């Protein structure tokens, strides 16, 4: 009986540095780190909409527009996060780039007096760290089936 090339090839889990416990994720389920980033990105989009609405209610339409402009990467992030199930490595790299912009824009929000920008920075750093892990690399470079 020959063993199929997947789920044990072409990567060696220990060689990639994934550590024990990752073997269970080869059954087609998304790794925990990737799911966490997906949820964080979705939450950041909701938070961006809420902060924009609150800024419009408490201040002015101009201030809401400024906050909305500062929150653009936070509105793109949920769209990227929802594609994690079928995405390739380019989606992982694009999500890391989006999270980098989220850091810059989050610092801009914090500078305008919205402390939620600092929470966005924390979310973005977490996303970059988790998407750079070997388990995320393996998830986004796995062979795709069922398209």
Q: Tell me the pLDDT tens digit for each residue of 88-141.
A: 899 999 999 999 999 999 998 888 888 888 998 999 999 999 999 999 999 998
pLDDT-based confidence at residue 79 (cuts at 50, 70, 90): very high
Burial (Cβ within 10 Å: 0-12, 13-18, ≥19) of residue 29: exposed
Take residue 85 and report the two structure tokens written for it: 């199930």
Residue 61 within any structural domain of the chain? yes
Residue 37 within any structural domain of the chain? yes
pLDDT tens-place string over residues 19-58: 554 444 456 788 999 999 999 999 999 998 998 899 899 9
Residue 13 within any structural domain of the chain? no
* The predicted structure's pLDDT at residue 3: 53
Residue 1 within any structural domain of the chain? no
Residue 16 within any structural domain of the chain? no
* The predicted structure's pLDDT at residue 142: 84
Residues above pLDDT 70, as percent of the chain: 80
* The predicted structure's pLDDT at residue 108: 87
Q: Domain total for the chain?
A: 1
| Whole-number Å distance between alpha carbons of 84 and 82 | 6
Residue 6 within any structural domain of the chain? no
Selection from 76, 81, 69 nearest residue 112 by Cα: 69
Residue 2 within any structural domain of the chain? no
**pTM, rounded to two decimals:** 0.77
Residue 62 within any structural domain of the chain? yes
- Structural domain for 98, as ranges: 30-140
């Amino acid at each position: 009986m020959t063993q199929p090339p997947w789920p044990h090839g072409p990567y060696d889990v220990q060689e990639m540095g994934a550590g024990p416990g990752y073997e269970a994720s080869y059954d087609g389920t998304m790794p925990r780190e990737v799911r966490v980033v997906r949820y964080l990105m979705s939450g950041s989009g909701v938070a961006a909409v809420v902060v924009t609405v609150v800024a419009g209610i408490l201040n002015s339409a101009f201030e809401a527009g400024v906050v909305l402009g500062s929150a653009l990467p936070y509105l793109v992030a949920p769209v990227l996060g929802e594609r994690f199930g079928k995405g390739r490595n380019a989606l992982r790299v694009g999500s890391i780039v989006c999270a980098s912009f989220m850091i810059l824009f989050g610092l801009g929000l914090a500078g305008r007096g919205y402390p939620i920008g600092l929470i966005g920075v924390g979310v973005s750093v977490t996303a970059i760290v988790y998407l750079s892990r070997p388990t995320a690399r393996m998830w986004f470079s796995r062979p795709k089936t069922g398209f």
